[in-house]
Amino acid sequence: KSPIFGPEEVNSVEGNSVSITCYYPPTSVNRHTRKYWCRQGARGGCITLISSEGYVSSKYAGRANLTNFPENGTFVVNIAQLSQDDSGRYKCGLGINSRGLSFDVSLEVLEHHHHHH
């Protein structure tokens, strides 16, 4: 079982922001290794959307960041301006996407219901 831990389900509404905190054992290797947030594909791969090495996918350009807090053994992914397209299955993890040091996170972004006049 992976030592990485985070929220299993995150719910939000279109236009809002979310903050996802993932916890890891704060060994020196873990503190210094790459942190990532990736979206799980239908065929089982996981596409990196943002990483601690400065990579940001075009889908997240200008609206997301990833901050590592090595003294706490946590890293936080902030995503703003959510849309329903952001709903899906993700992983937060350490190192290489396929190595299994990760935690599955389900994100559901609900439609914003406007008030009808």
What is the model's pLDDT at position 76? 98
Question: With 80 as the cut, is the pLDDT of residue 100 above it?
Answer: no
DSSP one-letter code for 22 = E
Residues 25-70 pLDDT 10s: 999 999 999 999 999 998 889 999 999 999 999 999 999 999 999 9
**Domain 9-110 homologous superfamily, CATH:** Immunoglobulins (2.60.40.10)
Q: Please, are residues 45 and 52 in contact by the beta-carbon 8 Å criterion?
A: no
Question: With 80 as the cut, is the pLDDT of residue 71 above it?
Answer: yes
Nearest-angstrom CA–CA distance, 32 and 60: 24
Domain ranges in the chain? Answer: 9-110
pTM of the model: 0.92
- Strands 35-40 vs 88-94: parallel, antiparallel or unpaired: antiparallel
